[in-house]
Amino acid sequence: MAKKESSAATAKGANKSQQKKKGGGPVKFAKDVRGELKKVSWPDRGQLQQSTTVVILLVLVLMAYIYAWDFVFRNLSQLIFA
């Protein structure tokens, strides 16, 4: 029985040491992040300007759409409740 208990304790100790090696810490994380960022295909200046223009135009269109519906419902509610 003593052998079984000592082998179980040894297995627990081995599992703990394997778990510690699994992470790697903040330095390894920073190196991994840097490596992944090198793999990214970054847009050039023209693509960035085009995407920014599209986003700004879409925001303005949606803003006008929401404002129009807000105006309609505000006036309807004033007609009904005033």
The H helix count followed by the E strand count for the chain is 3, 0
Say how far apart CA 63 and CA 44 lie, in whole Å.
29
User: What pLDDT was estimated at residue 23?
Assistant: 76
Per domain, the residue ranges of the chain are 26-82
Where do we find the tokens 């903040």? 26
pLDDT at 48: 97
The tens-digit pLDDT sequence of the chain (82 residues) is 555 555 555 656 555 555 556 778 999 999 999 999 999 999 999 999 999 999 999 999 999 999 999 999 999 999 999 8
For 10-44, b/e burial (b = at least 16 CB within 10 A) is eeeeeeeeeeeeeeeeeeeeeeeeeeeeeeeeeee
Q: Which residues neighbour 50 within 8 Å (Cβ) at sequence distance 6 or greater?
A: none
